[in-house]
Homo-oligomer: A and B are copies of this chain.
């Protein structure tokens, strides 16, 4: 991550030497490098993110459904949880999720820290409890030492666990996409066709919701604004949080960063391809039917939003000891 940030700073620096383009006037902004990271806390959080011992089965980690080899998603329509339960909703990407106005499709968690505790205790996901997860960690000398190092004393609790995971997740940004290079002044970073796609994206109204550095993530919008969205998925969206009927089918607008990697699309994962997603969004949200040529241009633009993926050494987890509570994958 260090290397990447340096490269990004270099790009930003170089941009200053190029003919000035008014970035500020664009509805999409470049991703800024990560700042103010507590590195020791993020390193601990990385281990926890990859540790399946935070699940009842000892088999499912954060990375199982937000796989950092695959755009921070599982690339499944809906996820697989404990005992192979079928999840109710598509796993959103963890990449650039620090920029989201809230977490989960329905925004029921205010931030990354609050989100991180959810799946651990969700019976359909990791199916554990915070108390049991903490007990496991407390039994492992390698973790006890690392929590002490990071937090100044031995206490391990869910507050610190989710703090550390959130700190790691804050590092998962993807600067350096070809589109950001273009925003920063490198005219040749995207093709004429991709630029035409961006113009369509702006002129058709996509940017009303998909804007800012994350190209989304900053608001809740009704799925099926102009025409109703047909789905068998029972998710109600924001209404489940606020209790307001007006919030039915309002979902957090997903980030379009790395959207080439985060298939399938929508909260129900029903759109398998970008072509399909762009077509449905155009018709249902904007009342606009993109021609095949227009659709292809928008898709070409969207693929320029793939940034540098976070790269880091696969963490080596501290081993359990004799006293560590055993995972219970089967029949209990």
Contacts and interface: CB of A to CB of B under 8 A. Distances in A.
A329 B81 CA distance: 11
A15 interface: no
A50 B67 CA distance: 10
A165 to B, nearest CB: 15
Nearest to A82: B84
Contacts of A313: 311-314
Contacts of A319: 70-71, 260-261, 263
B320 A263 contact: yes
Interface stretch (A72-80, A147-155, A219-227, A229-237): A72-80
A53 B263 CA distance: 13
A317 B309 CA distance: 10
A308 to B, nearest CB: 9
B68 A314 contact: yes
Contacts of A204: none
A257 to B, nearest CB: 14
Given A75-B58, A80-B57, A84-B83, A69 B309 contact: no
Interface of A: 50-53, 57-59, 64, 67-71, 74-76, 80, 83-84, 86, 260-261, 263, 272-275, 309, 311-317, 319-320, 322, 326-327, 329-330
